Amino acid sequence: MAELGVGELFRRALAEGSEEARERLARALLEDLEGGLQEVAKRVGGEVVPDTVVVRTALEVAVAAMAYARGSGRRLRVIAPSEPVPGWGPLNTLLSAMEENGLVEVYRLQLIASTRPTARDIARRVAKIARGISAKVVDVSDAPPYVVAGLHAGGVRTLTVLVDLGYMAVFQKFGFY
């Protein structure tokens, strides 16, 4: 297979959602982070730019938000899992590199409910973080329902989801009123 560009790898990761596609995208971005983000930015648009992203494994959502928000001059905030989640390897690798370069602020907490912590515990922690970082627009494409409830309790009223249109990805907003 011919060497694919970052833009095409992004499109495939978004369409497939597989760990292999995400791994290829992460490797390509690690080789040239700035150039890769510029390439992805050409394929991302939408109604609003998220200032915070909640992700469990969906590397492409964090990359899209980072690429789309680059021109705003502020760092993207990412709420990511602190405990291992199946398929989180590519996301962790890329978030570490982005954090070292000062492109993102990463907040880690357990995002999978179990007997301890329960969904209620996670929602409370998410609400506390959302209030603390003053999140206004949060992408919840890869967030479980109890995290969305925690964001609402934390004062977030505008949420986005990343929608794959095939030729590009767009952030579509919805909100609580």
Q: Are 107 and 135 in contact (CB under 8 A)?
A: no
| pLDDT reported for residue 16 | 94
What's the predicted TM-score (pTM) here?
A: 0.93
Q: Report the domain count for the chain.
A: 1
Q: Does any domain span residue 33?
A: no
- Distance (Å, whole) CA 30 – CA 46: 25
129: its two tokens: 């973080």
Asked if residues 85 and 112 have their Cβ atoms less than 8 Å apart, the reply is: yes
Q: What pLDDT shows up at residue 69?
A: 87
Q: Could you list the residue range(s) of the whole structural domain that residue 82 is in? A: 48-174
In a domain, 39, yes or no: no
Q: Is 151 among the domain residues?
A: yes
Let me know if residue 12 belongs to a domain: no
pLDDT tens-digit map of 102-116:
889 999 999 999 998
Angstrom distance (rounded) from CA 95 to CA 104: 8
* Residue 1 pLDDT: 43
Query: For residue 14, is it within any domain?
Result: no
In a domain, 158, yes or no: yes
pLDDT at 177: 64
d(CA 134, CA 128): 10
State which residues of the chain have pLDDT below 50: 1-2
Domain assignment of residue 156, yes or no? yes
Residue 104 is assigned to a structural domain of this protein: yes
pLDDT at 3: 77
CA-based torsion, 102, 150, 171, 173: positive or negative? negative
